[in-house]
Copies of this chain bind each other. A is one copy, B any other.
Amino acid sequence: MAKRPTVYDVAERAGVSIATVSFTFRRPDRVRNSTREAVLAAARALGYLPSASARGLADGRTGALGLYSFDYLLDGAHHDQAVGVPAVDTDAGASASHDDPNEGFRLFPLYVDEVQRGVELECWRRGYALMIGGGSHVSREAVVTDVAGRVDGLAVFPRTVPHDVLKHISRRIPVVEVSEPSDEDALSHVTVDNFTGMRALTEHLVQDHGLRDLLFIGTSVMSDIEARFKGFQASLHAAGLRVARQPLALRGDVGNPAAMIIGDLVGAKTLPEGVVCATDQDALAIMDALADAGIDVPRQVAVTGFDGIVAGCIARPTLTTVRQPMEQMGRAVVDILIKRLAHPEDPPLSRQLPVQILLRESCGCRTALAH
């Protein structure tokens, strides 16, 4: 690759000044037709490609937004090998001719995937490019800082970036976090009404199914999960029922945390009437563990999730859950970022989107149909 041609080369070849070259690309109407043609021809002949770095440096904006994602699979969280999907044959048939590494294979889009998709679509619609940074644990901070340096605004998932780093970044560019506003973090947020969603779901179990002995199971200590627990709690308190809660260990800590929990409950003969999980992935893992233990869902135990990922409607029984409008959330993230870009001095913006209760088989609402 020879030296990349620059505006200077193009200008020289077209017999104009560099300003005219610049105008040709950025304000074509300010340039006489014939001049423009000449410039474009020269650019074509030379193989000129405008440098985004130079432009970004010159005009102070990059025209890109950033998303700091991360890989659940590499990241200690659960993944969909753990989901309660009926024996899906990813494996080869009789005459499989080659190995299928299947490494990191993600059968269904997870929460992050669907949000990311919304971010992508909205970025493109609004004329922004999207820079996606990610990777595993190692030097998270360096990576996210790097991404932040390349973009006009940054979206992050909760608990993926140390809070002080986020604070640091948000001093220079707008940052929006896809989570319930935690404390006074002065960040913009996009989230759903976790509390109300979970309260409504729990009420359904209590009022419509007459369940009285419910257990909340959840992995992490994010504000969203906390809000869901509070919703669960509120509902049970209102009904005068006992609130039980059990943490779910992170993958990697032990062999199969869901199985251990279920094993313990069965062993102690303290299996609740219903297990209310903080996320769909937790719920699917629990359903798997229950199936392994020979316990029927929903007849012996009802199970519910939260998120509304695809795997939940593929699982058998299908998973009753609270659906977050993930793609819309991704779009809202971009919308906020762009709004804040236009008014940098305004206070952070937050948006809460509605959820939708999906009553399916795992709570006993629909009978499982053979199909």
Contact = CB atoms under 8 A, between A and B. Distances in A.
Contacts of A171: 1, 47
A310 B149 contact: no
A250 interface: no
Contacts of A1: 171-174, 344-345
Given A104-B327, A323-B100, A129 B129 contact: no
A49 interface: yes
A351 interface: no
Contact of A125 (B135, B314, B328): B135
A141 to B, nearest CB: 12
Nearest to A69: B120
Interface stretch (A8-16, A86-94, A180-188, A213-221): A86-94
Interface residues of A, number: 92
B97 A121 contact: no
Q: What is the count of identical protomers in the complex? A: 2
A60 B173 CA distance: 24
A245 interface: no
Interface in A132-174: 132-136, 143, 145-150, 168-169, 171-174
A225 B258 CA distance: 45
A88 B314 contact: yes
A131 B54 contact: no
A153 to B, nearest CB: 11
A371 B95 contact: no
A82 interface: no
A134 B124 CA distance: 6
